[in-house]
Structure 1
């Protein structure tokens, strides 16, 4: 097994059912960060099938032909969602493959993506007035630099996050430097949290962030899906309280 495959969650680019009407797709590694060192990030998207077999595509990863066929076998993509300004790269290929779907973009994506997106998309800003409202709750968490929009699937009691919590497993990191960086950044399993640099964007919005986390706890999630690292298959509320103890205590 190569270092790259060890760093991911194979099999990649294929549907993995985790609850009724709910799937994840583990994608390839991306490298992101300062010019050096760049962290290897395993990627993950979430797909929710809502009424009428309409599919909600969250933080899409690479689209290959085999995955496209799998997607079409479970429903019709209705919404393609970029949940924060850093999660947009694969959206153009999904839009090209499913031109009838509506693309929703979180604040900051247009600024971040620049010429990578040749279309504007629809704004993903508020917490209500979306077609999916009866089945999915929407919760924007607004920081000074990054706004991330979170979702809760009522039927499966699943909380869908992106970068609000990251949880890298040390055994999947290919160097001592990367293991040290994730530990210092507060994003190493089993104690993955909001990255320390991301916390800075909420320094002046601590009260609003705390209110958002308390709202998530009230939802009583059974599981929490993350975009990067090991996600939480159970004890969702306990994991939220642990990850945000620095804010809630």
Structure 2
């Protein structure tokens, strides 16, 4: 049995309210292959309940039976969203379990994915009519990573994936990985895009800056993150701090 590198954000597979009609769900730790290493990452999904009662799932985590039972109490699963070119692994399992749900994926994911994806619509720089009433979105194209970020207008919550990573050193059990996350620039309290990801935007900084400025203009109160501590207050200040390398 593999020893966990991170202290889990327990309880796992349980919706935790972050704002009205919006929850985060912490899932199991995974190992992501990168430059010959198996890098540990905690996983997290964000769930929004839309005005019609349907659920919008951002970066779905492992669909365990306890998690499916918890979600059933919130509403029917309507949308499955793979927000970038890294967060998609469990999408086929969710699509098989909920064949009536619409699948939406970041541009280019079909070319980069290491497993077959279900039929899906491609996310863009504007929300589709199905969720435009409550969610806005912005496309951030890159070479290493292309990501679509979302803004839940009713609660002024920004939903990011990997453009800000905010690992808490006190929750990293391994000294090696604790140092690695700090050297990568992705450690709380100064979480941001890891330095290798920042370098990948060198030729796309103008487009990235425009996207970040759009996020700031939304004036988010809080920011839901896929990795590490979320920001439950001072959203605009956290954006300016985390993206100072491009602003």
* TM-score, scaled relative to structure 2: 0.94
**Please, what is the CA RMSD of the aligned residues?**
1.7
Distance 2:41 2:47 in 1: 20
Gaps in structure 2 of 5+ consecutive residues? none
Q: Is the 8 A contact 2:5 2:174 kept in 1?
A: no
Distance 2:100 2:5 in 1: 34
Secondary structure of the 2:113 match is: helix
CA gap of 1:212–1:35, structure 2 versus 1, over 3 A, is closer
Distance 1:51 1:112 in 2: 34
Distance 1:59 1:13 in 2: 13
- Of stretches 16-25 and 118-127 in structure 1, the one that deviates more from structure 2 is 118-127
Distance 2:216 2:116 in 1: 35
Distance 1:175 1:118 in 2: 34
Q: CA deviation at 1:144?
A: 2.5
Alignment of 1:190-205 (within 5 A): 190-205=189-204
Gaps in structure 1 of 5+ consecutive residues? none
Match of 1:157 in 2: 156
Match of 2:242 in 1: 243
* TM-score, scaled relative to structure 1: 0.93
Could you report, residue by residue, the CA deviation over 1:84-137 in whole angstroms, capped at 9, with x for unpaired residues? 1111111111111111100001123212224x2253311112324341112100
Aligned length: 246
Q: Is the 8 A contact 1:80 1:101 kept in 2?
A: yes
Distance 1:223 1:108 in 2: 29
Answer 1 or 2: which has greater helix percent.
1
Q: Is the 8 A contact 2:5 2:172 kept in 1?
A: no
Distance 1:128 1:13 in 2: 28
Alignment of 1:1-249 (within 5 A): 4=4, 6-34=6-34, 36-114=36-114, 116-248=115-247
Could you report, residue by residue, the CA deviation over 1:125-174 in whole angstroms, capped at 9, with x for unpaired residues? 23243411121001111112321000000001100000000011112223
